Structure 1
Amino acid sequence: MSDMNSMNREIKKDQLRRQIVPASPQKDEDSNEIIKRARTKVKKKKLKIFLVVLFILSAGAVSLYTYLNYYQYTGYSVVWEKSLNEGSYVGYLDFGTNVLKYSKDGASYIDNQGKEVWIQSYEMKSPVASVNGSYAVIADQQGNSIYVFDKTGNTGVANTVLPIIKASVSAHGVVAAILEDTTSNYVYFYKRDGSSLDVKIKALLGGDSGYPVDISLSPDGTQLIGSYAFLKNGTMNGRVAFHNFAEIGKSVPDRLVGGFDEPYESTFVAQVRFLDDTYSCAFADNGISFYSTKNALSPELIKQIPAEDEIKSVFYSDKYAGMITDNPEGENPYKLSVYKSNGNLMFTNGFQYQYTHADIDGNLVILYNEDSCRVYNMSGRLKFSGTFDFPITKIRNGRFPNTLIVSGPQNMKEIRLQIGGQYQ
């Protein structure tokens, strides 16, 4: 009996002990699990929000890309209009985001709201102008004065003894000018303040060196590409030559680092241009040649684009070059082709618009005549086709993607292309 009582007492003690000391570790485990599940839930919610936002942004980007590349405008409204003093107007040139207007009696720098930033007076019989980056040059063809400008105004004037044929400027204000003599032609160089540099290139008329036709300085001013014409066996031939005026160019005679005759046999090279410090191109009557000066002492012809039919126009920017040729096949009488600075094709299109000017501004190709224009993007899509009620001499990009600056001899307008249009 006593054994049974003792056993019962032990059982009751064990029960009492379990009630007094509960299993607390299980409670801690449950609490950690709850916190872990809550954090996981928050992370999943944030991920869902991020994916939704990413989807909305991606859809917006695709819509914007589609709109900018495929939408065709059909009308416009005038944002602002500015009357200009016509004077003896000659032309406009793109100058940074604004334009340089030049005439026989002066030049003015006009911003993208039609305001004249500066005005410079001079007297020239036949002004020719060139722009490169932040500098512009205006020279009196067959005269003796060269005016150099930056975006703040005139930086200097160079006066020459020999008549001027052409002038080119670098993005740092160095000027190269072809000067004409009775027995030879020269390329002289000037600083942006108009003072002479102790550098010149001589070409004997009728000699092997050829007659200089056109020149262009690289943006940094250390390289020059020139086109030359010379007689060989009674036939006119073309030549493209490169000169280097950096320290490395001192190691070669006359700083002549490259010359190309073979591509221009029985061909005239009318124009040359450095697009940037590496790539340049030459426009001949048989096509466009693209060059690279990555190796400063050994320029390379990287691509030659032959013209299958007669070239009507050539044009370029700092990133692209293009040409318009006859197109005898099909319903379109002309063919527009645009290339990157390395010669790779961007697009080619046939068209039948009667243009008088062709320009590249940014990522737009602009064809226009005295009262209408056509605008293409770099995918070859026609973005706008319209007519105007005043004379046109220059069209360029406006301040926003859907605006254009339309200039004439007496006025300038910014137009906003209307939203109403259609997809091609």
Structure 2
Amino acid sequence: MSDLDSMNREIKKRQLRRQIVPSPAPQEEDSEEIVRKARKRVKLKRLRIFLIIGVILIAVGIGLFQYFRYYQYTGYDVVWEKEMKEGSFVGYMDFGGNVLKYSKDGASYIDNQGKEIWVQSFEMKSPTACVSGNYAAVADQQGNSIYIFDKSGPTGTATTLLPIIKATISAHGVVAAVLEDSTSNYIYFYKNDGNVLDVKIKALLNGETGYPVDISLSPDGTQLIGAYAYLKNGALNGRVAFHNFAEIGKSVPDRVVGGFDEPYESSLVARVHFLDDTYSCAFADNSVSFYSTKNALSPELLKQVVVEEEIRSVFYSDKYVGIIVNNTDGENPDRMNVYNPDGTLVFSEAFHYQYTQADIDGEHVILYNEDSCRVYNMSGRLKFEGTFDFPVSKIRNGRFPNTLLVTGPQNMKEIRLQ
């Protein structure tokens, strides 16, 4: 029995051994595969972190955008204040990121903290200023002198034989001036050192072009847009003409590469302006026209906005064109329309405010009078309305999004909106 039991036990042991399936020996991973997977995990972790930071930044950006777009400031405090020498003060103009102050006895360049960078003395009876890029000019209307400046100071003085009627300057310092004698008008051109260029346009009221009412040089100085008045069937009509002073314009009389009469039948064009080297605009008594000289030999009228109401003011920058007209609908007596350079409407807003000046600075429209101002953004929303305790001559954006530079004949202040 014992032998039989031993045999049975041995058989059972063998059966158990057959039922046991040995586990395969663990295989070692290749070291390069381990490194690759580790790097992949690190990259995924970094990607998640970047995505989280990106979402946070986008949320903050949207929040700031909404804040600056919709928030209306109700007060201000003065960041700094500086007294200005009044003299025979005439006006201020934005120039090279700062301010050009001009008067009958001189001009000065003032930075955005009220410091005079340079001063130029002269004597003029009726000074008028023009600016383009980093160049500016002050001309004596009905006089014979034009002072030309860049941001570092005077670059030259042009002296004319005939009285000056109008002047415009390019971003390279080339000056075009309308001069008048007893029988005709001329457009002369000057270098930034004041020397006369060998280019001249003669203009007569009953001539082919007409009498020059206003002119504007393109920033690069190669194009000029002119507003002209001419006689047709005994009536005075308006005309817009384009002159080209590059090589391609030499082949045409007076370098006129384009003229537009039909849009201004029975109306006069009072002002023209080059916004940049391609886009320009013309303001008539009943319309605003938008032009393109993308094809330099064939200027194009992109759009003419007919204005049935009385145009009270026009203003512009290198990016926007604005007009203020009498409002015939609703309680507010005025309406402000702002356009892109191609004539598309940016916004239209009715308002009630006794302004004397209207400017565009960056993304803001600034309306102001001698002791108050209103600031609108390019959505037409009122961002700030305030009054001041000193005379105001010019208001522009300050160094930061919530600051303004408020300048008068005797004071300059930077205010922080609250």
Give the match for residue 164 of structure 1. Answer: 164
Residue 47 of structure 1, CA deviation: 3.9
Give the match for residue 407 of structure 1. Answer: 407
Q: Answer whether contact 2:205 2:231 (CA < 8 A) is retained.
A: no
Matched pairs, number: 407
> CA deviation digits over 1:193-236, x for unaligned, max 9?
00000000001233342110000000000000000111222322
Task: Label 1:42 to 1:191 Cα distance change in 2 as closer, same or farther (>3 A).
Answer: closer
The answer to whether residue 60 in structure 2 is matched with residue 56 in structure 1 is no
Give the match for residue 85 of structure 2. Answer: 85
Residue 31 of structure 1, CA deviation: 9.8
Deviates more, 1:384-393 or 1:33-42: 33-42
Distance 2:212 2:116 in 1: 36
Task: Label 1:314 to 1:48 Cα distance change in 2 as closer, same or farther (>3 A).
Answer: same
Query: What amino acid does structure 2 have at the position aligned with 1:113?
Result: Q
SS of match in other structure, 1:336: strand
Give the match for residue 149 of structure 2. Answer: 149
Consecutive aligned runs of 4 or more in structure 1 exceeding 6 Å deviation:
30-40
Give the match for residue 385 of structure 1. Answer: 385
> CA deviation digits over 1:101-138, x for unaligned, max 9?
00000000000000000000000000011000010011
Task: Label 1:33 to 1:370 Cα distance change in 2 as closer, same or farther (>3 A).
Answer: same
SS of match in other structure, 1:59: helix
Query: What amino acid does structure 2 have at the position aligned with 1:277?
Result: D
Query: RMSD value over aligned CA atoms?
Result: 2.7
Query: What amino acid does structure 2 have at the position aligned with 1:110?
Result: I
Distance 2:228 2:310 in 1: 21
Give the match for residue 211 of structure 1. Answer: 211
Q: Answer whether contact 1:83 1:412 (CA < 8 A) is retained.
A: yes
> CA deviation digits over 1:73-127, x for unaligned, max 9?
0000101101011000110111021010000000000000000000000000000
> CA deviation digits over 1:4-25, x for unaligned, max 9?
xxxx9xx99xx9xx9xx9954x
Distance 1:398 1:271 in 2: 29
Deviates more, 1:204-213 or 1:114-123: 204-213
Give the match for residue 266 of structure 1. Answer: 266
Q: Answer whether contact 2:98 2:112 (CA < 8 A) is retained.
A: yes
* TM-score relative to the length of structure 2: 0.92
Distance 1:116 1:144 in 2: 27
Distance 1:31 1:192 in 2: 72
Distance 1:169 1:411 in 2: 28
Residue 44 of structure 1, CA deviation: 4.9
Residue 250 of structure 1, CA deviation: 1.1
Give the match for residue 349 of structure 1. Answer: 349
| Matched ranges for 1:97-116 at <5 A | 97-116=97-116
Give the match for residue 421 of structure 1. Answer: none
Task: Label 1:85 to 1:28 Cα distance change in 2 as closer, same or farther (>3 A).
Answer: same
> CA deviation digits over 1:360-409, x for unaligned, max 9?
01111000011110001111111111111111010001011111000001
SS of match in other structure, 1:335: strand
Give the match for residue 299 of structure 2. Answer: 299
Distance 1:218 1:357 in 2: 24
Residue 167 of structure 1, CA deviation: 0.5
Deviates more, 1:98-107 or 1:32-41: 32-41
What residue ranges of structure 2 are gaps of 5+ in the alignment?
1-9
User: What is the identity percentage for the equivalent residue pairs of Structure 1 and Structure 2?
Assistant: 72
Distance 1:27 1:269 in 2: 89
Distance 2:23 2:93 in 1: 91
Task: Label 1:183 to 1:52 Cα distance change in 2 as closer, same or farther (>3 A).
Answer: same
Give the match for residue 326 of structure 1. Answer: 326
Give the match for residue 187 of structure 1. Answer: 187
The answer to whether residue 361 in structure 2 is matched with residue 340 in structure 1 is no
